[in-house]
């Protein structure tokens, strides 16, 4: 009987560790997006490496983490989403890439109030939530 209890406890422990990966990816995505859209200053890792996040690295990290989370979601297939969900999911990568690499978009964000940046950040977080459901 004790071995069955140990197996169950081990399975629950494994499941708990599987759930921590999406949570960590969520934190990484939110921090990278918040930095990219100007909500926070550049985060620095001081643990022996002294690395400060750059805007281009934040873009790459956001896209890689977003793609990884989407690929590991329970739905996985883009055709399983409703049309409005497809639009929301596509909005985050489009916003992230265009904000970093398209001069016109950068100009629009800098010329107008911070409302654009806040809106873009919120769209990216909502997109994350829809993509990883």
pLDDT at 57 over 80: yes
Which residues, including other chains, have CB under 8 Å from residue 92's CB and lie 6 or more apart? Answer: 33, 62, 66, 123, 124, 127, 128, 131
Confidence (pTM): 0.76
pLDDT score of 97: 94
pLDDT score of 50: 82
Average pLDDT, the chain: 82
**DSSP summary character for residue 1:** -
**HSE on the CB side for 48, CA within 13 Å?**
0
Summarised one tens digit per residue, pLDDT across range 21-52 is 778 888 899 999 999 888 888 888 888 788 88
Most confident of 10-24, 45-59, 79-93, 107-121: 79-93
- In total, the chain counts a number of residues equal to 133
For residues 93 and 59, what is the distance between their CA atoms, to the nearest angstrom? Answer: 9
Average pLDDT for 73-86: 80
Distances (CA, A) of 115 to 5, 34, 40, 94, 126: 54, 13, 15, 18, 16
**Residue 77 pLDDT grade (very low, low, confident, very high; cuts 50, 70, 90):** confident
């Amino acid at each position: 009987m004790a071995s069955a209890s140990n197996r169950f406890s081990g399975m629950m422990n494994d499941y708990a560790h599987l759930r921590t990966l999406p949570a960590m990816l969520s934190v990484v995505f939110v921090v990278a997006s918040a930095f990219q859209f100007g909500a926070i200053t550049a985060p620095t890792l001081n643990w022996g490496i002294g690395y400060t996040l750059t805007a281009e690295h934040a873009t790459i990290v956001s896209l890689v983490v977003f793609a990884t989370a989407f690929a590991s979601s329970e739905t996985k297939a883009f055709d399983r989403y409703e049309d409005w969900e497809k639009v929301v999911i596509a909005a985050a990568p489009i916003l992230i890439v265009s904000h970093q690499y398209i001069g016109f978009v950068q100009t629009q964000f800098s010329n107008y109030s911070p409302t654009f940046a806040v809106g873009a950040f919120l769209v990216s977080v909502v997109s994350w939530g829809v993509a990883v459901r």
